[in-house]
Structure 1
Amino acid sequence: MATISGFVPHNRPVKPRKSKLLKKAVSAAADGETAAAVEPKNEVSAPGRPCPLARLPGEIRRMIFSSLDYHSLIRLSTTSRFFHRTVVPRTLADPLEMLQFVLRAANFPQHWPKEKGSNPHPGNFECYICFRIRSPDLFDANQLQQAIIDDQGYVIRGNVSPDTKVVGVSLRRFCIECGLLAGLHAPSDSLTTKTGVEFWVCKCRKLWPRPAVLMCPVCCDTCPFRLRKHGILAPKVPEAAALA
């Protein structure tokens, strides 16, 4: 499965004297605006000549990052490789602020569908789990509309024990990658993207294109679906039954 890439970091070192974002971050720290924040990855020294913000202690940087809004965190994470490793906007920003940002970004003209011309495009879509606007080939055309979760917040697929406390929730749009991580896509699921590409999910919850890959090279699970014949997606028949 092709890795779904995020923001591509800039290769050139940041010049803080020309960065309005860094000036805003430093001034916010000087005003004492602090909040709880988590730096999810290990700190690595910046390549080449690091900017003054990268040379600050980790606690001071976390205080600065917690005072930035979601859009500023995204921009900061794309300024250099160092900040791409240490700044993960989805873990630092407020969920309500991320939701509002994605709703605004979904209306930008560059994400609109293109129905006319020689290269029609269904447009880009928003994911309400990772709060990103993503390509249509990263979304299932027939995704789940509802899910059942237990009291721990885990998705339940299949039979439910009578003693288990469950609740049904309505789902907004989510990308395939987030669906795999959240357990919304289970092994043996067949997915068709909004661009018409077909995938299947193996036992180790990896996504493989069909019919290009019919056996997972990691867990050796086989694709439970045959190729389409006469418009019908038939399940794979075991060899013993086929020879009978």
Structure 2
Amino acid sequence: MSRINGFVGRRNFIKLAGIGSVAVGASATGSIIWQGEKAIAQQPSKPEPKPQIVDPQEALKTLMDGNKRFIEDKRMNPNQSKLRLQEISAGQYPFAAILGCGDSRVPAEIVFDQGFGDLFIVRVAGNIVSPEGIGSLEFATAVLGAPLIVVLGHTKCGAVSAAVKGDPLPGRIGAFVEEIKPAVEMVRNKPGNLEDNSVISNVQYQVKRLEESSTILRSLIKEKKLRIAGGRYEIATGKVTLVA
């Protein structure tokens, strides 16, 4: 029996059904309704994708393995096909949420070698915690089921640099810089490069703020359903190092 794109061919279909009338209904991979010379394929509904990872440690390992592939130029580019688009059209189940900086040089899906539907990403200059960001991450974890949040800072961060310098800033740029200054003060007298130390301190500070600012996130952490980690991305090499 011939098949066309997974469907039974028209002539053989009519023979199989024993009918030569204008309208014929049957089922192959979906139902087929003949209307004159035109066949309309009605595909069955697609099943919803199931949660991929529920263990925080497994989620973190998956991210770090992806970053290792990225820096070694061995990317797999997973979940980036048209089939994946169809699969996630029914719903999303990201295995991790990222609170990252808005810097164009730090695209999380590429950095961690992930694809469509894998990561729930919140981006804001300086990867700072805000009410809107907290709400977004509560949604990603409590509603969508992501077992991991990573606060991702990076080297050469303009927001951190501005906080270190402390110069007056125009418009509302100063608003997010103010949220980084406490982290800078924590390491101001620490040996080493103040800006580099401040990048790490800011990640750790924002992780702590997340843990302290949301009863929902604290509850998930207490139930061991969530981990909040912190990472530092090296702009020049692409490597992510865990710092919290």
Greater radius of gyration (CA): 2
More strand by share: 2
Q: Normalising TM by the smaller chain, what interval?
A: under 0.3
TM norm structure 1: 0.23
Structure with bigger RCO (C-alpha 8 Å, 6+ apart): 2
